[in-house]
A = this chain, B = another copy of it.
């Protein structure tokens, strides 16, 4: 009931990803995830609303992380640099989780409704980043363009990061940003 379960959230996530891979996302139940993690269903529902949210449980923390980075950056940073630096800093969290991120992506790629959920997550992140830029006094359309261009950079970097065994997120985000600059310059 009220027992303290050390790292219950992480154990549930790992159990869910293992089961989704072995048996297929649609066939796995919350009861099975809890059992695999050695926890109760009640504990599951303290951490996640349903089995889909295990895959998206990090969204709020990621958003908070990005918004915090934008808010804390030096005063004279340009809007796109604020966004790119925040995205590059996600390596602090992501780089240790590459295997789990790959497992998660395999599940998402196989299910259109999860892909849609992922797109909405990214759009929500863009809106939050634009809001964080506005808080710093960036004009509205510049804030939207910088945030959305940043999310495009992140998507390109993220796909490479999943496929790559070596380069870390910061390097891949910086590389994709350089490509964006070349592309938008219209050369």
Give the interface of A toward B (CB within 8 A). Answer: 78-81, 116, 119-120, 123, 141-142, 144-146, 148-149, 151-153, 155-156, 176, 179-187
Contacts and interface: CB of A to CB of B under 8 A. Distances in A.
Q: Which 7 A-B pairs rank lowest in CB-CB distance, beginning with the nearest? A: A148-B152, A184-B184, A119-B123, A145-B183, A78-B186, A80-B186, A141-B156
Contacts of A187: 78
Contact of A144 (B148, B156, B186): B156
A186 B179 contact: no
A180 B187 CA distance: 14
B145 A156 contact: yes
19 contacts: A78-B186, A79-B183, A80-B183, A81-B186, A119-B120, A119-B123, A141-B156, A141-B176, A142-B179, A142-B182, A142-B183, A144-B155, A144-B156, A145-B179, A148-B149, A148-B152, A149-B152, A152-B152, A184-B184
Contacts of A79: 183
B180 A145 contact: yes
A53 to B, nearest CB: 16
Contacts of A186: 78, 80-81, 181
Contacts of A120: 116, 119-120
Contacts of A145: 152-153, 156, 176, 179-180, 183-184
Contacts of A156: 141, 144-145
